[in-house]
Every structure is written in structure tokens, then in C-alpha cells.
Amino acid sequence: MPRRHRLFCWLLFTLAVFALPFFVGLTIGTWTFHTGAGVLGGAVARLMAGGATICIGQLALAFLPWTWLRILIILIYVAPATFAAYSATHGIAQMGISSPPWQTVFAVVGTVAVSNTALVRFTGMAADEPARQRVTRG
């Protein structure tokens, strides 16, 4: 496989895993650009909004004591990754497979892989019990 194909596959996989921060950053960056901030202002706003989205989710996972709310936050971050993964893998499968049932099978397999990766990356970045114990102990 040529190097550029590997690069695009890695980029597509990474963007699918971080779909929510990417979408938030893209939306804020586009809005900032159209309000007159220019290309540089839009790019800076895009990076800051995407980073802030990740940080807010990580802080919420680290400091919220309720398990049900932590699960809801995880779903908020993993659900867009699931939809993006299905769309991406189904589109790639349509290019190489002529049978619609097999396209769906490959799309579902890719979706499961990306969703599990998004879940592991998002929950793995957050501090677990020690952060919440430090806050409650004083």
C-alpha cells in the first residue's frame, strides 16, 4: 500500500474516532471565519474549540461522581464516532465490494472497531478514581 493511502486511512480513522471534537472545531472555525476573523483566526478558533471539547469531556469524566452521568458523557462522545465510522467504512466498502449485504457487513465491522477505539481512547485519557477522591477528601 502506498504511503499516501496509509496516511489517508490513518487520518480517516482518527477523525472518525474524534468526531465530536472535530465537528465542534469545524463549526466554530467556520463561524469565526465567516464573521471576519480570517483564515488564521478561523484556524486558531477551530483548534481551541476542538481542544476545549476534549478537555471538557475529560474533566467531566474525572470529577463527576455519578456513574450514570459519566456513561451519558461517554455516549455523547462515542455516538458521533459510531455514525462517522459507519459512513466512512460503508463508503470505502462501496468502492471495492459490489454486493450490498457484504458492504453492510464490512461497514458494521469497521464501525465496531472505530467505536471501541473511541471508547478506549476517550475513557483512557480521563483520570479515574484518584481525581475524584482528591476533590472529595479536601
Q: Mean pLDDT score of the chain, rounded to an integer?
A: 87
Rounded to 5°, the CA angle 74-20-49 comes to: 115
In this model, does residue 132 exceed pLDDT 70? no
| Residue 94: pLDDT band with limits 50, 70, 90 | very high
- What is the residue type of 73? I
Residue ranges making up the domain that contains 123: 3-137
Contact 19, 83 (CB under 8 A): yes
Q: How many structural domains comprise the chain?
A: 1
Average pLDDT over residues 16-28: 93
In this model, does residue 25 exceed pLDDT 90? yes
Average pLDDT over residues 42-67: 91
Q: Collect all residues with Cβ–Cβ distance below 8 Å to 130 and sequence separation of at least 6.
A: none
Per-residue model confidence (pLDDT) at position 128: 57
In this model, does residue 137 exceed pLDDT 70? no
Per-residue model confidence (pLDDT) at position 9: 82
